[in-house]
Chains A and B, each alone.
Chain A
């Protein structure tokens, strides 16, 4: 089975102290470490696991500049066979929609059975890429998938619903599957494993080769625009709910209800 994995390089913001950039439309990214989006790591691993079972080829692809090459190389070290970097200066400022557009153009030029990606990216927290891509390619999609069984010409997936409930779906191939973290245990990539794939060339594919118009990509092709960003007001620790335990519990129940803590 030929699998193409779409991955994204994101700043590691989960542990870092964040500050807003002067322009007010983004955060200061200078001191941040970048790495592959955590969800996408699981997608690569899943692709390699499927390949190990069924044979075929795994391709890793991203939209990004040369800084993203290291991430692709790690994908090769994980067991992917080839990698592509889709980059053109005009791609700068692409939102989820424009990015899906670029990758759809790339995918339309190739043959594949399955496209894998992570359900969510930790930078834009959009959770939209897989669904958009599938729609653009005209193939079915499933997101938040935590189990994939490969059949002949189709796959059976399990996707997570809320509160421990999952649903099983049968999906014809080709298809796009956005995986959930925890679908597998991504393998460890040693320094040597990366060194071993150092000689594999990672081609860069530009806008012209993808046959895209400037108006379709980058901020021009984006459907949404960030007007401003700001840090949510920081709470000075917990608001302590006073009163007798029973009263406090009752108040807490209301807060939970209000804040979506009761499913």
Chain B
């Protein structure tokens, strides 16, 4: 016995295919219009060149878009998402099939006939059940266990209900499918048993007692309910936080490829100084990719969960920037009414507050974590550029920047004394390279290594190592200027251009094979931001190479059996992918006992930033990031924290004292440690 198929049952006297066509057309029309509005905005905002390296982009889309490779960083939620996404992909064929069945009762997609079609039917039935289970688990998880990272902070209206709406609709899709298929199964439409069609069988079991006429109504009603929910869901996506279902894969495809670098003030503009306004003050000054980011945020909270600023109580929560920005779009660029005039108050400083904007250390933990590659640093830098133009900058940062402007370093020291630290080196003459001089390795000391008494120790250690390695090297001395990594990230682009061009000029006036810096910030900015490219190496990479080549050998017992942990500096690890070389160097140290902290490699925890950020004072934080980091080291029983960044060193040494770990934990730079072991 079989039931009448929906296509064969007129609805209120209208033949089903006509109803199906009407529903389909209406849904597509609305959806197209909504998408058109959303795309209109993307076309109205500022340009952003994202079409280079298509091969790499396709690869990203495959691995991180379809492959969901970042999802398992949160294992439970990640697996659930992968299951849902897989279900979504598999069941999309089913949905297309069902749409077709409104027109013709025997509709099949091409190739979906015979055994392939049967296999798909079986697969789909399992997936339906799986998706339903995942949805229920997800709802229970949100309702009962309330993971902290889903909580909204700040003033924005909550979006928690949207999650239930979408999970409810997906569940409804599964249940209507089960009613549709189950009713057919219940009247014996299928010959196979429960093992092949668990979802349908479950549906059938619920409806087992129903009469045939009831079943036939359920069969048709289930179908139409499914179709209606499907199209409602489709149209709900671009007006909710679930837009990511549509935009996530394009967002991954258009991801930023030059990690570590900062975007120019405006793409496609030769002289930004000539611009009327610079940076992002109004929302419309974001680039289209940045707006696409806002569309795409799924509100999963992973960025903020990993944000060190958020962790210590600063005002920043990266996720809220996306959420508030999308709320702004949905409010000011509504789908069914005219665009609203921008408010009197600019976006920056109001929707996103100054406290949020200055709280960021640009450590990149948020971007590393985002499953769909939403960017934050460039946006924050763009907003800072606007604020700086308005004269707004935290007082604690103004002084170091003014010093850099006047003297080329934040320490307020005279530039002629930049090479003074070398005088304390016994038996080593460090060559101050003059214009026209040639050498093998140009040691870029940077302001911190030249003037900070603590960091000078690293400079000396590195000079000793270079000397021992036999490599010919020299420094720029008085011709060196602050590298400018933080200056650029604090939004003072004019000053960045000033310092970088001075350094570029100094580089170009000398011959060398490579530049080496022990400060990852200097390494990063020369590598990723300087408009002229020079070969640049981080000290840890050079040390690894020296050890590999046997240029230096290590001997001694400085660590004396103490347990060591390694702290990955943000600008070495996350921004430049240098994770292995420092560990390779540590591996060469006799008697090394290394234990990783729970947060290491890509999940390393920022210790509050380098350069002028050393002077930055945050009013809201309840704890200093460095203190949090030292506690993480203490948790695993580490007695020595090795890092490869002078600012991490300063911050962590400070934190060791303030957390009462003085005498219990030593902080040392990798370069210093190697120096202690020089045979």
Name the CB-closest residue of A to B498.
A191
Question: B492 to A187, Cβ gap below 8 A?
Answer: no
**Considering the chains assembled together, what is the distance between the CA atoms of A193 and B491 in angstroms?**
13
Inside 8 A of A31's CB, which chain B residues have their CB? 414, 416
By secondary structure, the B interface counts as helix
A192/B406 contact (C-beta < 8 A), A15-B412, A187-B391 known: no
Q: Of B393, B414, B493, which is within 8 A of A192 by CB?
A: B493
- Verify if A35 is at the interface (C-beta below 8 Å from B): yes
What sequence of 0s and 1s flags, for each residue 1-40 of chain A, a beta carbon within 8 Å of any chain B beta carbon? 0000000000000010000000000000001010100000
What sequence of 0s and 1s flags, for each residue 392-426 of chain B, a beta carbon within 8 Å of any chain A beta carbon? 11010010010001110000101010000000000
- Verify if B278 is at the interface (C-beta below 8 Å from A): yes
**Considering the chains assembled together, what is the distance between the CA atoms of A31 and B414 in angstroms?**
8
Question: B393 to A188, Cβ gap below 8 A?
Answer: yes
Q: Of B395, B406, B492, which is within 8 A of A33 by CB?
A: B406
| Contacts between the two chains (Cβ within 8 Å), count | 41
Q: Name the interface size band of chain A.
A: 10 to 19
- Verify if A185 is at the interface (C-beta below 8 Å from B): yes
What sequence of 0s and 1s flags, for each residue 193-210 of chain A, a beta carbon within 8 Å of any chain B beta carbon? 101000000000000000
Question: B391 to A193, Cβ gap below 8 A?
Answer: yes
Question: A190 to B389, Cβ gap below 8 A?
Answer: yes
- Verify if B494 is at the interface (C-beta below 8 Å from A): yes
Inside 8 A of A190's CB, which chain B residues have their CB? 388-389, 391, 492, 494-495
- Verify if A189 is at the interface (C-beta below 8 Å from B): yes
Output the residue of B391, B414, B492 with the most chain A CB within 10 A.
B391
Inside 8 A of B494's CB, which chain A residues have their CB? 190-192, 195
Nearest-neighbour CB distance to chain A for B36, whole angstroms, equals 37
Inside 8 A of B395's CB, which chain A residues have their CB? 185
Inside 8 A of A195's CB, which chain B residues have their CB? 273, 494
Name the CB-closest residue of A to B405.
A191
**Considering the chains assembled together, what is the distance between the CA atoms of A68 and B40 in angstroms?**
51
**Considering the chains assembled together, what is the distance between the CA atoms of A193 and B278 in angstroms?**
11
- Verify if A101 is at the interface (C-beta below 8 Å from B): no
Nearest-neighbour CB distance to chain B for A218, whole angstroms, equals 29
Inside 8 A of A188's CB, which chain B residues have their CB? 388, 391-393, 398, 401
Question: B278 to A35, Cβ gap below 8 A?
Answer: no
**Considering the chains assembled together, what is the distance between the CA atoms of A189 and B392 in angstroms?**
9
Nearest-neighbour CB distance to chain B for A192, whole angstroms, equals 4
**Considering the chains assembled together, what is the distance between the CA atoms of A187 and B391 in angstroms?**
5
Question: B273 to A192, Cβ gap below 8 A?
Answer: yes
Question: B391 to A189, Cβ gap below 8 A?
Answer: yes
**Considering the chains assembled together, what is the distance between the CA atoms of A31 and B478 in angstroms?**
14
Nearest-neighbour CB distance to chain A for B603, whole angstroms, equals 34
Inside 8 A of A186's CB, which chain B residues have their CB? 398
Nearest-neighbour CB distance to chain A for B204, whole angstroms, equals 71
Name the CB-closest residue of B to A190.
B388
**Considering the chains assembled together, what is the distance between the CA atoms of A33 and B404 in angstroms?**
12
Question: A191 to B492, Cβ gap below 8 A?
Answer: yes
Name the CB-closest residue of B to A15.
B412
Inside 8 A of A73's CB, which chain B residues have their CB? none
What sequence of 0s and 1s flags, for each residue 442-466 of chain B, a beta carbon within 8 Å of any chain A beta carbon? 0000000000000000000000000
Inside 8 A of A193's CB, which chain B residues have their CB? 389, 391
Nearest-neighbour CB distance to chain B for A145, whole angstroms, equals 20
**Considering the chains assembled together, what is the distance between the CA atoms of A84 and B364 in angstroms?**
47
Inside 8 A of B406's CB, which chain A residues have their CB? 33, 35
Nearest-neighbour CB distance to chain B for A78, whole angstroms, equals 7
Inside 8 A of A35's CB, which chain B residues have their CB? 406
Nearest-neighbour CB distance to chain A for B388, whole angstroms, equals 5
Output the residue of A35, A187, A191 with the most chain B CB within 10 A.
A191
Question: B389 to A192, Cβ gap below 8 A?
Answer: yes
Nearest-neighbour CB distance to chain B for A211, whole angstroms, equals 37
Inside 8 A of A78's CB, which chain B residues have their CB? 391
Nearest-neighbour CB distance to chain A for B178, whole angstroms, equals 63
Name the CB-closest residue of B to A189.
B391
Question: B391 to A192, Cβ gap below 8 A?
Answer: no
**Considering the chains assembled together, what is the distance between the CA atoms of A195 and B392 in angstroms?**
17
**Considering the chains assembled together, what is the distance between the CA atoms of A15 and B492 in angstroms?**
25
**Considering the chains assembled together, what is the distance between the CA atoms of A172 and B493 in angstroms?**
44
Nearest-neighbour CB distance to chain B for A246, whole angstroms, equals 31
Name the CB-closest residue of B to A16.
B414
**Considering the chains assembled together, what is the distance between the CA atoms of A189 and B388 in angstroms?**
8
* Residues of A212-239 whose CB lies within 8 A of B: none
What sequence of 0s and 1s flags, for each residue 265-298 of chain B, a beta carbon within 8 Å of any chain A beta carbon? 0000000010000100000000000000000000
**Considering the chains assembled together, what is the distance between the CA atoms of A191 and B497 in angstroms?**
10
Inside 8 A of B492's CB, which chain A residues have their CB? 190-191
**Considering the chains assembled together, what is the distance between the CA atoms of A85 and B493 in angstroms?**
30
Nearest-neighbour CB distance to chain A for B498, whole angstroms, equals 6
Nearest-neighbour CB distance to chain B for A231, whole angstroms, equals 19
**Considering the chains assembled together, what is the distance between the CA atoms of A15 and B390 in angstroms?**
29
**Considering the chains assembled together, what is the distance between the CA atoms of A135 and B398 in angstroms?**
36
A191/B495 contact (C-beta < 8 A), A33-B406, A35-B406 known: yes
Nearest-neighbour CB distance to chain A for B265, whole angstroms, equals 9
**Considering the chains assembled together, what is the distance between the CA atoms of A185 and B497 in angstroms?**
26
What sequence of 0s and 1s flags, for each residue 149-193 of chain A, a beta carbon within 8 Å of any chain B beta carbon? 000000000000000000000000000000000000111111111
**Considering the chains assembled together, what is the distance between the CA atoms of A31 and B406 in angstroms?**
13
**Considering the chains assembled together, what is the distance between the CA atoms of A205 and B82 in angstroms?**
75
Nearest-neighbour CB distance to chain A for B192, whole angstroms, equals 73
Name the CB-closest residue of B to A77.
B391
**Considering the chains assembled together, what is the distance between the CA atoms of A28 and B568 in angstroms?**
47
**Considering the chains assembled together, what is the distance between the CA atoms of A191 and B407 in angstroms?**
14
**Considering the chains assembled together, what is the distance between the CA atoms of A189 and B391 in angstroms?**
6
Inside 8 A of B393's CB, which chain A residues have their CB? 187-188
Inside 8 A of B416's CB, which chain A residues have their CB? 31
Inside 8 A of A192's CB, which chain B residues have their CB? 273, 278, 389, 493-494
* Residues of B474-505 whose CB lies within 8 A of A: 492-495, 497-498
- Interchain residue pairs with CB less than 8 A apart (12): A15-B412, A31-B416, A35-B406, A185-B395, A188-B392, A188-B393, A190-B389, A191-B492, A191-B497, A192-B273, A192-B278, A195-B494
Would you list the 7 A-B pairs with minimal beta carbon distance, nearest first?
A: A191-B494, A187-B391, A188-B393, A192-B494, A190-B388, A188-B391, A188-B398
Q: Which A residues are within 8 Å of any B CB, using their own CB?
A: 15, 31, 33, 35, 78, 185-193, 195
Extra contacts, 12 of them, besides A190-B495, A193-B389 (Cβ < 8 A), are: A15-B412, A35-B406, A185-B395, A186-B398, A187-B391, A188-B401, A190-B389, A191-B498, A192-B278, A192-B389, A192-B494, A193-B391
